[in-house]
Structure 1
Amino acid sequence: MRSEEPRAVRLADYRAPDFLIDTVHLDVNLAGPETLVVSRLRLRPNPAGRAGVPLVLDGDALRLSGTPLLDGAELDAASYAATPTAFTLHEPPADAFELTLTTKLDPAANTQLMGLYRSGSAYCTQCEAEGFRRITYFLDRPDVLSVYTVRIEADRAEAPVLLANGNPVESGDLDGNRHFAVWHDPFPKPCYLFALVGGDLAVIKDDFRTASGRHVDLAIYVEHGKEERAAYAMDALKRSMRWDEQAFGREYDLDVFNIVAVSDFNMGAMENKGLNVFNDKYVLASSETATDADYAGIESVIAHEYFHNWTGNRITCRDWFQLCLKEGLTVFRDQEFTQDMRSRPVERISDVRGLRSVQFPEDAGPFAHPVRPDTYREINNFYTATVYEKGAEVIRMLKTLIGVDAFRRGMDLYFARHDGEAATIEQFIACFAEASGHDLKQFLLWYSQAGTPEVIVTEHWDASSGTYALDIRQHIPATPGQTDKKPMVIPLAFGLLGSDGNDVDLGSDGRVKREGLIVLTSGEHRFEFRGLKERPVPSLNRNFSSPIQLKIDLSDNDLLFAARHDGDQFNCWQAMQSAMTRLLVTSAKEIREGGKPLGEPRIAEAIASVLNANDRDDAFAAQFSILPTETDLTREIGTNVDPDAIYAARRGLKEAISAQIQPSLLACYSGLADQGSYTPDAKSAGRRSLRGVALDLLVVGGGDEAIALAERQYADATNMTDRMSALASLSQVDHPVRERAFSDFAERFANEPLVLDKWFALQAAIPERGTLDRVRGLMNHPAFSMGNPNRIRSLVGGFASGNPTQFNRPDGAGYEFLADVVLELDPKNPQVAARLLGAFRSWKTLENGRRALAEQALRRINAVSPLSADVSDLVTRALA
């Protein structure tokens, strides 16, 4: 474990590697605690590097076994040095040479789940970002690209399946019931994309014919008995492959594509070339065990990792500062894929909900950083919503700014120009500047400036001249290390609504780049529209064209009018959210001052009108009817936040809506009854989603009839979505039915860890005083394990990030609990321990009492020595 203060790494200090590794031959002998890795590296000095310097290879907790070989001859002991963290060859040859190193590993003891480790009965690897150095000494950086040949040897009974990157080359039997397999990947790749799996696994197989007619064998490896649950993942994979050919012209390039699902994984999945390793929650699904959200997650993550084959693998990032180049771009691609598979406006709403719930608070707190940071101390801590989700929004803005055709030309140019390279953001953006003729220098500020821009709009209406004007000012708040910000390029898709609900003809304006798009480039702008017969209602940032905080003082009448009539469905939803947010913020203030929650009949009427519409889109109606989250309201209030008042305001509004439109809710719920066998298609999922929203609003009133309705749905459910929506509604009411349902659920699914994760998470999110004790008790449940990241995320993460009132208890007990867990977990799995600290991202916005207690817990963690670099980095930043 690392105990030193993490060293700052700076983008400005980048220099090319002094050596390159052209080929890597690995011989991995899987033998429990005596696992041996023989690494044969073909190296040469890099013409772009420094000449005459020692060769220093990275290591992490490594044990060198035997004597290293240089061009086949044993090295003299004085010519090299080997420590757990580095191998140094003091005077490497001036020309190309071959270095052979042997390391000894104990995969079962690797609780960090980085490098080579055991997951159940299988050996597997995770090398991003810096896990390969836990397998063998190497130049562990993304800009060292090598061609790999891997030979794996293992006991046949223990590991009948032996997989690595690339294509299979050879396999055979050995003495002592052992066997081997050789894999070769012809495409140069950085070591973070290396993968190996060995174990006793079941498999489902299929095949795919590419657009050019090439045959590809597909396989998904899972635990025995779970083969049928991988069928949807296979279908999603084939749809992803076809879509990437059609949408981006990208064809798969190997003879095989393999996916392996493991139960112990720090991340969601990993895009290793030709051998994707997945957290099993993003592969396994059946109607009895997976919700519609699980199916959607599988579809999205399968697509994301497959799309990395080109945006991440064929073209990788030069250094970890460019992480958004592969992640933000690939998130954009998987979001586009999902929108094409499902409903564009509904998926856009869902993506923005996610962005606002995690990335906006990140941008506004102590962990704020640019999409491309300029410094880091621990790279694992920069796999963030800013890099991924905000990075995707930047790509979407680029497409909006230059247009669909120019964007496709830019992507084609990027693939053609940089295939097989480790690229930078500047090289990526240069392709679009060339393809479109746009000057994109100012646009690059989106990559270097942290913080969510605020766009403040003031409207002016002159009835005598029929002139409507918008004064628009942008402001980027100060963030850690960045106080002075430059104006950004902000494309705002927009329309003006007339009294008939239709868009007003905008006419022409020199500063409107094309109809329906305003582009901000300076701190202040004025846009005028003349010849109008009436004051319009502005509809700005349609489809969330830029990731901004839009501030415009529209009346409640304007917002509710837009919620019913805006031609942009995203902005219909946004108008409703804005109306509810305004009411809830006022209500929370009233409650803090001793008042009661506020209601607004027109909000309930607007929801009822959507529920009762003849042409109702169920999925959209569900999103429209969901109140802003407690995180949304925390962000809107900004300072001196009282989570209890926010919860009370939100609960009060839900109760008011339930009471006012109960007949509509009941009619909607009844009309959406289960219609036969389960299918995870978008239309069916939308129907179940709306039914769940209606049930939740009915149950929140606490009436016995509504609770009985939820109990009946739970008992009669024929799929996990309906069962979970009933249980989720019951979890919010203190009633004996709740505990009976929880007990029944645990008994039904005692042998289903992924299902029990849902059970853990629901209980962790109960907004009641006794929940912390409940969570502590559940940590002793037989199904809970501190060694499994999924269990930790569901229970501890579910409490810390999913239960604002109880994590932020006024007595500080929630903070102290999380500090205890982080300190216990840090020596075993620092990456997961650090991720839990994300719950503190908004601690500085809390009211004084809670803020002091949160700081106390953070300082207690910071006082412990040693701390991992992962945890030390985040605690230091949180307290800065």
Structure 2
Amino acid sequence: MREGHAHVIHRHDYQAPTYWIATVDLTLDLDPAKTLVTSKLAVKRNANQPHGPLVLHGEELTPLRVMIDGEPVSFRQDGNELTIDAPDRDFELVIRNTCCPEKNTALSGLYTSGGGFFTQCEAEGFRRITYFLDRPDVMAVYTVTLRADKTKYPVLLSNGNLLEQGDLDGGKHFAKWHDPFPKPSYLFAVVAADLVAREQRIRTRSGKDHLLQVFVRRGDLDKTEHAMNSLIASIVWDEARFGLPLDLERFMIVGVSDFNMGAMENKGLNIFNTSALLASPATATDADFQRIEAIVAHEYFHNWTGNRVTCRDWFQLSLKEGLTVFRDREFSMDMAGSPSARAVQRIQQVRALRAVQFPEDAGSMAHPVRPDSYVEINNFYTATVYEKGAEVVGLYQTLLGREGFAKGLKLYFERHDGQAVTCDDFAQAMADANPGSQLASQLDLFKRWYSQPGTPRVTARGQYDAESHRYTLRLSQHNGKGELPQLIPVRMGLLGPEGQALPLQWEGELASHGSETVLLLEQTEQAFHFVNVLVEPTPSLLRGFSAPVLLDDGLSDAQLLNLLQHDSDAFNRWEASQRLALNRILGAVRAGQPLVLDAAYLDAMRAVLRHPQLDAAFKAEALRLPEAAYLAEQLQVVDPQAIHTAVEAAWTQIAQALRADWEWAFEAHQVSGGYRPSAEDAGRRALANLALSLLVRASTLSGEPVWPGKAYQRVKDADNMTERFGALAALVSAHAPLADAALAHFHAQFAHDALVIDKWFMLQARAPERDGKVFERVKKLLQHPDFTLKNPNRARSLLVQFCNFNPGAFHRADAGGYVLWADQVAHLDAINPQAASRLARAMDRWATLAEPFRGAAKVALQRLAERSTLSNDVREIVTKALEVA
């Protein structure tokens, strides 16, 4: 664990290394207590840099010998650096060292899990295996020989193609792998374990044959079919959409239960958290199936956007992550099929963005998509880099169109294949491939999306002149941080009083250009004039969420209802439903009054639920209330308990007032036949689960046993996890009398399945608070025999879900949640700093809290900051949080 003085790294200080490494020949003699690593490096002098010593990175290693061109040389160890007085020329460097995988609880580098060896080298894990120039711009060709006990570790894997394998003396065996493509050390991977594989041979559009393999523990093979199908679909899609083929003889995926991330895109050997890989109808929900498809696609797409072209330095992280999230989103929407299913995908993306990234943009860890400095790079694997980064990549496609974007991506690979580059290189390729475009002419303005933190706020106001039939739309932008204007595309249309789409004709033009256009907001304030607008319009702005901004359009309830009922853009129909709810909840919170939902709002929700043309999946999204985190972002001073009370009141009134409608919805949306994770079936199950949840809530409040009884029976009898877990969630969320019995039954049934038990912990951690019951339950669950801080999935399922995503239960007037948080961050930091830093982020927005929460949160932060043994991962987050006071 890294402790002590925190060194700040700045983007503008980047310098190329004094030496490059052309080839790496690694031999690993694998032993849990003492793995011997022999590294043979072809070191190339960088003539563009002054000569100096070769300084290699290394953590928790024991050096044994260092040789240059076959001769032993002296070296110096200073902390986590090994310094060698190297010659002013090319040379061969051989290093022998040992590491201890079984003591590596940080799960970074080479570690053991379930009796096997696994690696995680992004961002700086390779230095925990051997001494190296562990930075992304040092790209080398790797040959790797693994030696291990054949009985304990029958499967030996590394990147690239298998050259040879065989038996050795003493019951051992070996495998030799070669990756022909230069890669940075963060993409290195090794697996040695007792695994079984699902295999599939395919022939791609280019006519080449490939072997696909998904390796898992024995007993999990039946849960890998969906992952394999997702991988095949990803390979086909990427070659068809962007002309990017699979470039190795084989592509391997390995599942491991102890893993800090969702998955890792190591070249040709992706390592996955089992939560992002294993699925069967009995153990995985529709959301799990959808998540697995997206993550498999994401890691495969990294093969080009991240591996073949990688980052020059870690400040460019969004170059690969934002771009690849965008690509996996496009894939998921294409896989969804229908326009409605695509719209639901977009709604879910934006809901997640608002729940996590918008608060991050406004919190103590706010940073640009391309950060300017960091203490610990692991802390910048953030929603801003990934999700906002993907939104920025989406802006390219909005400005250039699908064809123009594809041309830009093609030029990007032609220029930079095999290189480590920057976000500026990507932007330049997009502009150069589309000369004459708005992007090319305003590239510097566009690139402010990479350099400015915060979420831009767009204000829109319309003025209609009935006499001249002229409509003026005035847009302005600011982000509250004194930043410069950004290039914001606003996709829009105009609706008439009856919901009809109005033709758009610019002032000074002779004809209209259809009923939808994209306005480019380039300045602090701009006005756009439309003529021949024969009726007063309702503006439909930011269609498809065309830019990641906060929009204040000042629309009335009547206008929002018009959009909800008639807008051709499904996203804006959903947005109207969210705005109607948000206005009412925030009105009650700001007034300090109990929330009472009006008949007009309830009638509008009933109309959505009963609408014969709307898809069930869309209805389920439109009828959900805004996330608590998004509600909090609308307030300057946040009282989490007031928000919780208002949201709970809203759900209760929606449940009670629409009782008959929910009964209809539950019965009408049952899915018959065998389980399929299709968008249509998943949508029907989502709406049925929402209906059941609200029926159980209404019944519990009135003391009626029928619907809680039905839910309990469904927990016992459902033939798929989506319905079973939905019924359990309905009981737990309502604090129904049968909830404890259902939880006990569920646990007993799935005690053998760690991923399902993670869901069991998560559900209880996120239950809406009532009289302190959830907080007390979480404290008890910390002592549960199945709970451990050593497994990141289990720690996230309870602690992160409670502290980061259950504000109504976490923020307590007696500061109990904050005390629990500080204690658990400290405990977890001693085991796994990366996991601890995720939990530490629960306090990013503490300074906006109302008293007494604010004062108590500050005390907890100060108490944690006073600990001398904090890792850099956690100390950076806590220090930045306290700086905003």
Which TM class, normalised by the smaller chain length?
Answer: over 0.9
Return the offset for 1:501.
1.4
TM-score, with length taken from structure 2: 0.96
Which residue matches 2:413?
A: 415
Return the offset for 1:608.
1.9
Q: Deviations over 1:495-521 (max 9, x none)?
A: 000123121100135799995110010
Return the offset for 1:84.
5.3
Pick which of 5-14 and 177-186 moved more. Answer: 5-14
User: What are the residue-to-residue correspondences of 1:9-48 with 2, within 5 Å?
Assistant: 9-48=9-48
Q: Deviations over 1:267-307 (max 9, x none)?
A: 00000000000000111111111000110110000000000
User: What are the residue-to-residue correspondences of 1:785-796 with 2, within 5 Å?
Assistant: 785-796=788-799
**Does residue 351 in structure 1 map to residue 349 in structure 2?**
yes
Q: Distance in 1 between matches of 2:538 and 2:367?
A: 35
Return the offset for 1:614.
2.3
Return the offset for 1:679.
1.1
User: What are the residue-to-residue correspondences of 1:462-481 with 2, within 5 Å?
Assistant: 462-478=465-481
Which residue matches 1:719?
A: 720
Letter of the structure 1 residue corresponding to residue 464 of structure 2: W
Find the residue that maps to 1:736 and give its secondary structure: coil
Pick which of 798-807 and 558-567 moved more. Answer: 798-807
Q: Distance in 1 between matches of 2:598 and 2:133?
A: 62
Letter of the structure 1 residue corresponding to residue 763 of structure 2: L
Which residue matches 2:285?
A: 291
Q: Deviations over 1:20-51 (max 9, x none)?
A: 0000000000022121010111101112222x
User: What are the residue-to-residue correspondences of 1:302-381 with 2, within 5 Å?
Assistant: 302-342=296-336, 343-381=341-379
Find the residue that maps to 1:460 and give its secondary structure: strand
Q: Distance in 2 between matches of 1:513 and 1:407?
A: 23
Return the offset for 1:712.
2.8
Q: Distance in 2 between matches of 1:61 and 1:477?
A: 44
Q: Which runs of 5+ in 1 are unaligned?
A: 479-483
Q: Confirm or deny: 8 A CA contact 1:356 1:632 kept in the other structure.
A: yes
Which residue matches 1:686?
A: 683
Which residue matches 2:859?
A: 856
Q: Confirm or deny: 8 A CA contact 1:502 1:567 kept in the other structure.
A: no
Q: Distance in 2 between matches of 1:287 and 1:771?
A: 29
Return the offset for 1:607.
2.2
Return the offset for 1:600.
2.3
Q: Confirm or deny: 8 A CA contact 2:409 2:430 kept in the other structure.
A: yes
Q: Confirm or deny: 8 A CA contact 1:316 1:421 kept in the other structure.
A: yes
Q: Distance in 1 between matches of 2:249 and 2:132?
A: 28
Letter of the structure 2 residue corresponding to residue 777 of structure 1: K
Which residue matches 1:879?
A: 882
- Within the candidate set 399, 402, 411, 2:397 is matched to 399
Pick which of 262-271 and 845-854 moved more. Answer: 845-854
Q: Distance in 2 between matches of 1:657 and 1:107?
A: 54
Letter of the structure 1 residue corresponding to residue 29 of structure 2: N
Find the residue that maps to 1:186 and give its secondary structure: strand
Which residue matches 1:553?
A: 554
The 1:513/1:615 distance shift into structure 2, 3 A limit, reads closer
User: Alignment RMSD, CA only?
Assistant: 1.4
The 1:493/1:821 distance shift into structure 2, 3 A limit, reads same
User: What are the residue-to-residue correspondences of 1:92-107 with 2, within 5 Å?
Assistant: 92-107=86-101
User: What are the residue-to-residue correspondences of 1:447-462 with 2, within 5 Å?
Assistant: 447-462=450-465
Which residue matches 1:665?
A: 662
Letter of the structure 2 residue corresponding to residue 791 of structure 1: R
**Does residue 495 in structure 1 map to residue 493 in structure 2?**
yes
The 1:214/1:413 distance shift into structure 2, 3 A limit, reads same
Return the offset for 1:773.
2.4
Return the offset for 1:375.
0.7
Q: Distance in 1 between matches of 2:401 and 2:747?
A: 52
Letter of the structure 2 residue corresponding to residue 308 of structure 1: H
Q: Confirm or deny: 8 A CA contact 2:60 2:99 kept in the other structure.
A: no
**Does residue 259 in structure 1 map to residue 253 in structure 2?**
yes
Q: Deviations over 1:325-370 (max 9, x none)?
A: 0000000000010011112100000000010000000001111000
User: What are the residue-to-residue correspondences of 1:179-198 with 2, within 5 Å?
Assistant: 179-198=173-192
- Within the candidate set 848, 851, 861, 1:845 is matched to 848
Q: Distance in 2 between matches of 1:758 and 1:509?
A: 57
Return the offset for 1:83.
4.7
**Does residue 119 in structure 1 map to residue 118 in structure 2?**
no
Q: Distance in 2 between matches of 1:47 and 1:694?
A: 68
Which residue matches 2:53?
A: 54
Which residue matches 1:152?
A: 146
Find the residue that maps to 1:605 and give its secondary structure: helix
Which residue matches 1:133?
A: 127
Q: Distance in 2 between matches of 1:576 and 1:136?
A: 55
Pick which of 177-186 and 531-540 moved more. Answer: 531-540
Which residue matches 1:274?
A: 268
Return the offset for 1:609.
1.7
Which residue matches 1:632?
A: 630
Find the residue that maps to 2:76 and give its secondary structure: strand
Q: Confirm or deny: 8 A CA contact 1:63 1:84 kept in the other structure.
A: no
Find the residue that maps to 1:647 and give its secondary structure: helix
Q: Distance in 2 between matches of 1:204 and 1:509?
A: 62
Q: Confirm or deny: 8 A CA contact 2:671 2:684 kept in the other structure.
A: no
Of all paired residues, the percent bearing the same amino acid is 46
Q: Distance in 2 between matches of 1:562 and 1:875?
A: 43
Q: Confirm or deny: 8 A CA contact 1:473 1:523 kept in the other structure.
A: yes
Q: Confirm or deny: 8 A CA contact 1:5 1:872 kept in the other structure.
A: no
* Matched residue count: 865
Letter of the structure 2 residue corresponding to residue 264 of structure 1: D
The 1:472/1:671 distance shift into structure 2, 3 A limit, reads same
The 1:451/1:510 distance shift into structure 2, 3 A limit, reads farther
Q: Confirm or deny: 8 A CA contact 1:454 1:549 kept in the other structure.
A: yes
Find the residue that maps to 1:138 and give its secondary structure: coil
Q: Confirm or deny: 8 A CA contact 2:315 2:370 kept in the other structure.
A: yes
Letter of the structure 1 residue corresponding to residue 179 of structure 2: D
TM-score, with length taken from structure 1: 0.97
Q: Confirm or deny: 8 A CA contact 1:70 1:100 kept in the other structure.
A: yes
Pick which of 138-147 and 835-844 moved more. Answer: 835-844
Q: Distance in 2 between matches of 1:197 and 1:581?
A: 49
Return the offset for 1:428.
0.5
Find the residue that maps to 2:33 and give its secondary structure: helix
Q: Confirm or deny: 8 A CA contact 1:695 1:710 kept in the other structure.
A: yes
Find the residue that maps to 2:485 and give its secondary structure: coil
Return the offset for 1:635.
1.0
Pick which of 308-317 and 210-219 moved more. Answer: 210-219
The 1:83/1:198 distance shift into structure 2, 3 A limit, reads farther
User: What are the residue-to-residue correspondences of 1:724-743 with 2, within 5 Å?
Assistant: 724-743=725-744
Return the offset for 1:656.
1.6
Which residue matches 1:165?
A: 159
**Does residue 581 in structure 1 map to residue 582 in structure 2?**
yes
Q: Distance in 1 between matches of 2:522 and 2:793?
A: 44
Letter of the structure 2 residue corresponding to residue 856 of structure 1: V
Which residue matches 1:525?
A: 526
**Does residue 70 in structure 1 map to residue 64 in structure 2?**
no
Q: Deviations over 1:718-762 (max 9, x none)?
A: 110001111111112233201110111111111111000111011
Which residue matches 2:380?
A: 382
Letter of the structure 2 residue corresponding to residue 55 of structure 1: L
Q: Distance in 1 between matches of 2:88 and 2:570?
A: 64
Q: Distance in 1 between matches of 2:278 and 2:736?
A: 33
**Does residue 771 in structure 1 map to residue 774 in structure 2?**
yes
Pick which of 706-715 and 247-256 moved more. Answer: 706-715
Q: Distance in 2 between matches of 1:372 and 1:527?
A: 32
Return the offset for 1:545.
0.2
Pick which of 571-580 and 733-742 moved more. Answer: 733-742
Q: Distance in 2 between matches of 1:489 and 1:709?
A: 53
